[in-house]
Amino acid sequence: MLAVTRLSLIQNSLHKCGILGTVQVCHLSEATHNVTPYKLHRLDQGPNTTVTYTREDALKYYKQMRMIRVMETTAGNLYKSKIIRGFCHLYSGQEAIAVGMEAAITPEDSVITAYRAHGWTYVRGVSVHAVLAELTGRKTGCANGKGGSMHMYTKNFYGGNGIVGAQVPLGAGIAFAHKYRQEDNICISLYGDGAANQGQLFEAFNIAKLWNLPCIFVCENNGFGMGTSAARASACTDYYTRGDYVPGLWVDGMDVLGVKEATRFAKDYVLKNGPILIEAFTYRYHGHSMSDPGTSYRTREEVQEVRQTRDPIGKFKDVIVNSGLVTNAEIKKIEDDVKKEVGDAAELAKTDPELPLEELYSHIYMNPPQDMKVRGCDDTVFASTK
């Protein structure tokens, strides 16, 4: 559902917006947006369905989503050119989840996700250059080029994990740490619909509820596992209900403002009551990974229809322009700036230095004894924290 701007804003828009040549200049500062109704499980009430957002919010969220989209397109092209090797899972189509959730938490809150992690790495504070350099295995990558696509980290962002579903019990453990230290923070632990049937998820839900851990478990339901639709893999596709005794809610994962409000509600809830489960209903445009064309189990027409009718960036652009908060000229400038920033970062990611050979065995231990030898090395090579 598109945004519904306050009547007073609409009535005053002609007075507050002027035309200078062909450039529209708007001075509105705030608007409201009606989100798709949430679905609730074991909750008496849910998040607000009418949310307020500012002009600054609109510009920031649009730029972040656009940055992720262009960064992922660039990563795909680098992979096809064999500049990126190994695994590579793209986040295109799911940008509203990372951007919306990050907007509702603080840098002191924690996030852990699966291997479709590039977008989350960026919104957690890692530069586009450091993301792309990590993908190309360069020293300037966020993990010094050692982690690649599936293992990206920064402060309070615990990856990027390659084992399907394993980040969920890890996320419960991070939430336990916050509670044990009496910190007013939460952990968001994300997984896909393809991982939703793993036994370890239900074990994590159980212990999190038993100890009332401040964890938001998020199923990014993009419709497909590696090559199988959710309906063919899960007897129950209402993933927000599958925590049983853990309350849950469903949100349109293609609506950045709806995701933000759902996360704001969930953070407040888990700090007081223990875990909650969110199903963010979304869609991935590319295959499961770069080795998957993504068209053998769905039609090209299906993907194109989602791009045209549900795309999170296109929908948000219409919302913020129609609200009068942002002009088309400002949208064009953001897109030009993003294109240049990603393009410059990609060039650096192709030419930055790789790690020298002696770094092969570094960062194995955090504080190794100086005389500790690492198995597999020459006798002259020692573990290092350099």
pLDDT tens track for 301-359:
999 999 999 999 999 999 999 999 999 999 999 999 999 999 999 999 999 999 888 78
Q: What is the share, in percent, of the chain residues with pLDDT greater than 90?
A: 82
Torsional class of 324: left (φ above 0), alpha (ψ -120 to 50), beta (otherwise):
left
> What is d(CA 5, CA 84) in angstroms, rounded to the nearest whole number?
44
Query: What's the whole-model pTM score?
Result: 0.89
Distances (CA, A) of 170 to 217, 351, 352: 11, 35, 33
248 φ, ψ to 5°?
-150, 165
Q: What is the mean pLDDT of residues 180-189?
A: 98
Q: What are the tokens at 79?
A: 């992979």
CB 374 within 8 A of CB 381: yes
Q: 12: pLDDT confidence band, cut at 50, 70 and 90?
A: very low
3-state SS, residue 196? coil
The Cα 33–Cα 224 span in angstroms is: 29
Q: pLDDT tens digit string along 221-239?
A: 999 998 899 999 999 999 9
Residue of 1, 111, 56, 44 lying closest to 265 (CA atoms): 44
Neighbours of 26 (CB within 10 A): 17
Residue 255 near residue 302, CB atoms below 8 Å: no
Q: What are phi and psi of 78, to 5 degrees?
A: -65, -35
pLDDT band at 5 (very low <50, low <70, confident <90, very high): very low
For residues 215-221, give the mean pLDDT.
98
Q: Name which residue leads in pLDDT, 371 or 333.
A: 333
pLDDT tens string 122-180:
999 999 999 999 999 999 999 999 999 999 999 999 999 999 999 999 999 999 999 99
The whole-angstrom separation of Cα 247 and Cα 21 is 54
- Write out the DSSP string of 300-367: HHHHHHHHHHT-HHHHHHHHHHHTTSS-HHHHHHHHHHHHHHHHHHHHHHHHSPPPPGGGGGBTSSSS
Query: Can you tell me the distance from the alpha carbon of 111 to that of 95, in angstroms, rounded to the nearest whole number?
Result: 15
Closest by CA to 321, choosing from 33, 67, 69, 58, is 58
Tokens read off for 76: 């795909």
d(CA 65, CA 315): 12
Percent pLDDT > 70 in the chain is 90
Local confidence band at 27 (pLDDT 50, 70, 90 cut-offs): low
Residue 31: predicted pLDDT: 97
